[in-house]
Structure 1
Amino acid sequence: MKKLSNIILLLITIVSCHSNLTTKTSNSNKKTTIDSLTIGYKYTFKSKLLNENRPIIISLPKKYSTSNANYPVLYLTDGMQNIWHTIGTIEVLTRTGNIPPLIVVGIESTNRKRDFTFTNSDNNPESGGGLTFLSFIESELIPHIETNYRVNSFRVLEGHSLGGLFTASVLMEKPNLFDAYIMMSPSFWWNKEEATEKAKLFFKANPDIEKKLFFGIGTYESGTKWGMRKELTNFIDAIKENQPKKLQFEHKEMEKEGHMSSPLLSTYYGLKYTFSDMLFTDEIYDNYTDEKFLKHENFIMTKYGKEAKQSAEEYLGLAFNLINKEKYSNAITILKRSVEAYDFDINIRMILASTYEKNNDIKKAIATYKKAVNLPLKYKLSREKEIRKHIIRLENN
């Protein structure tokens, strides 16, 4: 990573220590090592366009330092407020194969009404600075991120409340800047719902736009015939009136959630929807061929980076379906990909070896068991004796 003179590095940690510490326990002489759990790094970015020092939080995928993969980027408004639940959500969704690993760029707010509104309001004299804030993101922040980090071309913008209004405004002002937009409880009431009026013209004028949009809101935020839920529905209706063929969107209400609690679920469902094309299609399940499977895997890795993968459960479910049909060669194709994606998983390697044996490929079964034996001790789950018995059995047959 390049070192820039205008960046000051501050480490954000979940616990108070910034390095490994050693301390004595209260009832023994044993020492305990306390490791800091880092969720990201906080920078002070000197913006010429904003004429201010803007706090930026960068959170990198777990394997960033040990891989050479390129990653999609999530740009998150109200960064300090939203970074905690967003990183936790991403960890769960990445681990379960619903989304690829992401770089997260949290942009801290210094004046929300100024930055998130594109027009001035008589009641808010500082408002209307949204275009300048957008220029900062486009001309300063994105180039910095793409120069200093390994990113691929897929970008997502997410915002809550006035940040949701800003996100929708960016879609209509610079539709090609991001590939997907997550709008949480957007403040479409601003200036008498002017964003909705603009949307009516925008979607009619852009019939070929190809984006994914997610809109989330809590049912406790208003009634259905007034307030923010109604204003969001009005915006959705503006999309439906002239919906471009390649535009995809989802509108979801979070049951019994209010304005400040709904972003947790909106982020969860919004990210799942944004990356929903990662999941296996019905065609792969119903009419499986190796060609279809590998084409899909290559597609998600090309679009979202080579760390993109299904959950281990998805791979195994598809493989076992084929094993039950005695289509061992097809199952092996899936299991080999699964071992590649989860190279630490002893169980997947054992299943692959067993499937090689069922397919009468004893040499590859033995080789796979031997690779399992050579996994680090922490991954073998005390199964080394079991694995060696399989090797001896197959070598003696």
Structure 2
Amino acid sequence: MTRYFLLTTLYISISSLAFAQKKMEESLYSTYLGDTVRYDVWLPENWSASRKFTTIYSFSYGASDAEFTAQEIRYLNKNHISHTPPTLVVNIKADMDRMGYNYETGGLTQRGLKMLECIEKEIIPSMEHKYKASTFRTYMGQSYGASYGNYLFLNHPELFSGYIIISPERLSPSQPPFDITAKLAQFYGKRTTFYFLAAGAFDMERRTQYTGEIADLVKRLDSVKFNFQYHHLAEAGHNNSTAMALPLALDFIYREYNSYTESQTAGKFSAALQKYQEKVNAVYGISVDRNAYQVYQPFLSHLWQQKDTTGMLEAIDFFITKESGGRQIRDFAYSCSIVGLAEKSMELYKKAINKMLIEEMSTDRGPSTLITCYRELAMNISKDHPREGWDLLQKALAVTIRHKGSIYIDHYPDIYFYLGQFAAENNYKVKEGLNYLLCYANERKDLVNIIHFDFDKIYSTIGKSYLLLKDEKKAKSYLEMAIDLNPENITAKELLNKLSDD
């Protein structure tokens, strides 16, 4: 049976969110341009005025679409594919004339220089004041927008800490120029910077060749401080290169946020956590997202592998906050049971149950998490409190039946097996438990094998139930069926031996 009990395969944890992902339409009168500039800001789902956020800036040009970027971040985080910190995505509405980048010179027109002053001295300060943007800013551009990004990289290195440069354009072998001076190399050797470069293999030859030449120059800067990554996208052309590169780019830009070597090397949990927090703040100018599964899970995993009870209690004090969702609290409850903190585990399970009953039953995953808590808590207390454990499983059954058919409820019909297993292992309500097992065996026949209990385990548990009910003939029949399916079923073999001895 390959489910449930590895921390790395915890049920998907979605923290309670203060805000839905939201688009804000902004405008300001630029004293530099003498005109109004409009831009959209996509807020992350858990935006709050009490914390700092990294920012991705792009122009409304080409395939660099801010809404797509914001939704991609949400998708990657929600499905635990990769993880970025909560990020503001800004889309500045400007055409090529207002951007003002000149392919022939590699510089900006006078109007473009004024637009850049607007970005640096008006838009960025506004973002920092109103939306709590941190000093870690990423510029993303494609095609003309990518070449504009290279202008920023070469001429205004202090403005952005990250660059996502996709399919940069050039008109001739020398236009635009791309030269890295000794002074610029010295600057990037001291300042943490991330430069991601990509182009599609099916793009025009002049673009792919140009991208390769840029890669050869920029990779020479690679150092402890300067981070470089280049992708030649085998299946991409010009227009779809952004869609294919973006997940790779986000993973790269936030690589230090997603690196948890501290949990393995720093010894005590408090020291490991402090090192991780210091790194995240130093690189990204933000605090650690305490309620993000991808942040707390690596620390949890290390703690319960080490059976570190002191570290586990410290982790609870740090990670469990008033914003913690039921799924997160459950993950810590489960981990406490693994390291031997039984009382703390029970306390957290009850807290998670209350949280879900009060706040999360209308969410997609609230009922499923509640069922998990009822089931795991029942198993934890079953030895000393079988009646209370049975009552918890009955509650789990009721929630399962009520929400049967929901795509997020994968507990049906397995809840029947848990009830039957509980009864057999605790010699409590065995006849009732046997009926659940027989029901499960019947419904299990037409289900996918890999996600449900194996039939040899089902039959051995049924056999054990019959043995407790003194029906040796049926017990023997089911135990033999279990061994026929799996000769290595230890439980079935031991029970058959007991029958033989009797």
Do the structures match in fold with TM over 0.5?
A: yes
Cα distance change on mapping 1:229 and 1:191 into 2, 3 Å: closer
Give me the whole-angstrom Cα distance separating, in 2, the residues matched to 1:345 and 1:115: 47
Q: 2: distance between equivalents of 1:273 and 1:213?
A: 9
CA 1:246 to 1:79, structure 2 compared with 1: closer, same or farther past 3 Å?
same
Residue aligning to 2:289? 308
Following superposition, the deviation at residue 92 of structure 1 comes to: 2.3
1:115 offset after TM fit, Å?
1.5
Q: Distance in 2 between matches of 1:310 and 1:51?
A: 44
Asked if the contact 2:58–2:139 (Cα under 8 Å) also holds between the matched residues in 1, the reply is: yes
Per the TM alignment, residue 220 of structure 1 is displaced from its structure 2 partner at its CA by: 0.8
Q: Post-superposition shift, 1:195?
A: 3.0
User: What is the root-mean-square deviation in Å for CA atoms of aligned residues?
Assistant: 3.6
Tell me what 2:83 maps to.
98
C-alpha displacement at 1:85, in angstroms? 1.5
- Structure number having the greater helix percentage: 2
Residue 36 of structure 2 aligns to a residue in which SS?
A: strand
Correspondence for 1:49 among 32, 39, 42:
32
SS at 1:53's partner residue?
strand
Q: Does the 8 Å CA contact 1:165/1:186 hold for their aligned counterparts?
A: yes
* 1:106 alignment partner AA: N
1:262 Cα offset (Å): 0.7
In structure 2, what residue type is equivalent to 1:280? S
Paired residue total: 350
* Residue 91 of structure 2 corresponds to residue 109 of structure 1: no
Pairing partner for 2:351 from 355, 358, 371: 371
Q: Per-residue deviation at 1:338?
A: 5.2
The 4+ residue runs of structure 1 with deviation greater than 6 A are: 390-397
Q: Which residue of 2 aligns with 1:132?
A: 114
1:163 offset after TM fit, Å?
Answer: 0.8
**Is 1:246 the equivalent of 2:229?**
no
Higher strand proportion? 1
Contact 2:180 2:217 in 1 (8 A): yes
Kept in 1, the 8 Å contact 2:300–2:312? The answer is yes
Residue 220 of structure 1 corresponds to which residue in structure 2? 202
Distance across 1 between alignment mates of 2:296 and 2:236? 34
- Mark the runs of 5 or more structure 1 residues left unpaired by the alignment: 1-36
| Residues 164 and 185, structure 1, Cα contact 8 Å, conserved in 2 | yes
1:168-227 CA distance string (max 9 Å, x none): 11122211111111111112447823431x32556446453431111111111134xxx1
CA contact (8 A) 1:312 1:342 kept: no
Listed as ranges, the matches of 1:11-30 within 5 Å are none
For the Cα contact (< 8 Å) 1:193–1:231, is it kept in 2? Answer: no
> Aligned to 2:175, what secondary structure does the other structure show?
helix
Matched, 1:345 2:326: yes
Structure 1 position 276 matched with structure 2 position 259? no
Q: Which residue of 2 aligns with 1:263?
A: 242
Secondary structure of 2:214 counterpart: helix
Q: Which has the larger radius of gyration?
A: 2
8 A Cα contact 2:199 2:232, kept in partner: yes
Unpaired runs of 5+ residues, structure 2, are 1-19, 387-502
1:293-347 CA distances to partner (integer Å, 9 max, x unpaired)? 312442355335335369626744653455345444445555665545971133x
1:298 to 264, 277, 283: 277
Please say if residues 74 and 156 of structure 1, whose CA atoms lie closer than 8 Å, have aligned partners that are also in contact.
Answer: yes
Verify the 8 A CA contact 2:60 2:94 in the aligned structure 1: yes
Structure 2: distance between partners of 1:317 and 1:208: 30
SS of 1:258's equivalent?
coil
Between the two proteins, what is the percent identity of the paired residues?
A: 17
What's the TM-score once normalised by structure 2's chain length? 0.60
CA deviations on 1:79-101 (whole Å, 9 max, x unpaired) are 69512321111212343362101
Tell me if structure 1 keeps the 8 A contact 2:262–2:275: no
Q: Per the alignment, do residues 84 and 358 of structure 1 end up closer, same or farther by CA in structure 2, a change over 3 Å counting?
A: closer
Aligned to 2:151: 169
How far did 1:166 drift?
Answer: 0.9
**CA–CA separation in structure 1 for the residues paired with 2:295 and 2:53:** 22
Alignment equivalent of 1:184, drawn from 137, 148, 166: 166
Higher mean C-alpha deviation, range 154-163 or range 385-394: 385-394
1:84 is aligned to: 67
User: Is residue 195 of structure 1 aligned with residue 177 of structure 2?
Assistant: yes
Q: Kindly state the Cα deviation for residue 167 of structure 1 after the two structures are TM-superposed.
A: 0.9
**2:296, 2:319 within 8 Å by CA — same for their partners in 1?**
yes
Q: What is the Cα deviation at residue 261 of structure 1? A: 0.6
CA distance in 2, matches of 1:87, 1:343: 23
C-alpha displacement of 1:392: 7.1
Q: 2:44 aligns with which of 61, 66, 76?
A: 61
- C-alpha separation in 2, matches of 1:266 and 1:330: 39
Q: 1:234 to 1:216 in 2, by over 3 A?
A: same
Worse-superposed segment, 302-311 or 40-49: 302-311
Work out whether residues 42 and 56 of structure 1, in 8 Å CA contact, stay in contact via their aligned partners in 2: yes
Contact 2:83-2:251 within 8 A present in 1 as well: yes
- Whichever residue aligns with residue 158 of structure 2, its letter is N
Cα distance between partner residues in 2 of 1:301 and 1:209? 15
Say if 1:361 and 1:201 are closer, same or farther in 2 by CA, change over 3 A. Answer: closer
Alignment TM-score, normalising by the size of structure 1 = 0.74
- CA shift, 1:127, in A, is 6.0
Q: CA deviation at 1:130?
A: 3.3
In the alignment, is the contact (CA less than 8 A) between 1:290 and 1:330 conserved in 2? yes
> Do 1:57 and 1:80's aligned partners in 2 also have CA atoms closer than 8 Å?
no
Paired residues of 1:77 and 1:109 also in contact (CA < 8 A): yes
Is the contact between residue 186 and residue 228 of structure 1 (CA under 8 Å) also seen in structure 2? yes
